[in-house]
Amino acid sequence: MAANNRQVILAEKPQGKLTLANFQFAETEMPVPAEGEVLVKALYVSLDAANRAWMQGVTYRSALETGAVMAGGSLAEVVESRAEHLAPGDLVFAETGWQAYAAVPGKHLAKLPRVEPLTHLLSVYGVTGLTAYFGLLNVGQPKPGETVVVSAAAGAVGSLVGQIARIKGCRVIGIAGGAAKCGWIKDELGFDEAVDYKAGDVRRQLRGLCPNGVDVYFDNVGGDVFEAALFNMANHGRIVCCGAVSQYDDVPPAHGPRGVPGLIVTKRLRVEGFVVMDFYAGRDAALAELRGWVEAGKLKVQEDVIDGLENLPAALIGLLAGENRGKRMVRVG
């Protein structure tokens, strides 16, 4: 193949907030798959707060290296296969990094169904949907009638968490930034209440809305909002630790939330982290249930698709600033 490959390089790790200057663009030769590998073409690159966390150091994967292609996953199409179970035209989710083409090991790739729209494979039927599903149901274990609070409620995971909690018979309160997002999660997604963290003290707002306390708090943000929820938990409440986006895009915080571990003792709380891969044994059943809800119109899927590989750095910076609604991705192909 004569065409070149376009790449986004992590030129320099951010010291404080991520900026465009941390990235560079490159053109290289088209990669050639080795035995067992497949050459894939990225269709949509997934954008996640985790992209930024990886720059902080070792998380559940290795830290990123400067000078290398920026790490990330994509919905991709097989162009050339040297792996037995995959053929050109197959759709896969692959760790391509931020580039138009990648040669990746075929071993861990599974052929995905061609659903309509394809983008749902990155949102509700992808890591995002499964994170919301397993985090809320398997870790949080909400019971009908309980009060569930979710932060980053207008985001990719949060918008699904709140709707799934409603489907399961819970009262749902979303925390989001700004009146527009707060109105949207109530009016369009059916949340019972919304807390605008930009409009005043979250701890006091939650106290007013949850006089009997919060049974499940699904945390996507960490920091002050985590602390506000912690102080409002009911006895035997559960905090699902999914991410800490408020902590990623800056120097590591100098301190953690007050009330740890004191309130965890006196309220008998369970505070639990998870990584979605730990629950993949139950993936097929989860996807079937998610699909049923989507097809019945009970679960609305919001996507935020930006065009062009060259817009990846700005798309991530914007995501960290909370400008997206629902699942953000960049169309490359």
| CB-based contact 194:182 (threshold 8 Å) | yes
CB of residue 126 to its own copies, shortest distance in Å: 19
Alpha-carbon span 202 to 224, nearest angstrom: 9
CB of residue 234 to its own copies, shortest distance in Å: 13
Name the residue nearer to its own copies (CB basis): 169 or 262: 262
φ, ψ of residue 276 to 5 degrees: the values are -60, -30
CB of residue 115 to its own copies, shortest distance in Å: 29
Name the residue nearer to its own copies (CB basis): 94 or 271: 271
Pairing of strands 214-219, 23-29: unpaired
User: Own/partner pairs for 256-261, CB < 8 Å, 24+ apart?
Assistant: 257/222, 257/223, 257/224, 257/226, 257/227, 257/230, 258/227, 259/227, 259/230, 259/231, 260/230
Name the residue nearer to its own copies (CB basis): 278 or 307: 278
Name the residue nearer to its own copies (CB basis): 146 or 219: 219
Name the residue nearer to its own copies (CB basis): 108 or 258: 258
CB of residue 249 to its own copies, shortest distance in Å: 13
Name the residue nearer to its own copies (CB basis): 99 or 232: 232
Q: State whether the Cα torsion 92-96-100-104 is positive or negative.
A: negative
Alpha-carbon dihedral 72, 74, 78, 80, rounded to 10 degrees: -20
Alpha-carbon span 198 to 195, nearest angstrom: 9
CB of residue 77 to its own copies, shortest distance in Å: 31
Name the residue nearer to its own copies (CB basis): 29 or 278: 278
Name the residue nearer to its own copies (CB basis): 31 or 273: 273
Residues that bind its own copies (CB under 8 A): 53, 59-60, 219, 222, 226-227, 235, 239, 241-244, 247, 252-275, 278
CB of residue 213 to its own copies, shortest distance in Å: 13
Chain-centroid distance of CA 286 in Å reads 17
Give the up-direction half-sphere exposure of residue 275: CA atoms within 13 A in the CB hemisphere. Answer: 6
CB of residue 270 to its own copies, shortest distance in Å: 5
Ramachandran class of 233: left when φ > 0, alpha when ψ lies in -120 to 50, beta otherwise: beta
Return the bridge partners of 238, or none: 216, 270
CB of residue 251 to its own copies, shortest distance in Å: 12
3 by Cβ neighbours in 10 Å (0-12 / 13-18 / 19+) ranks as exposed
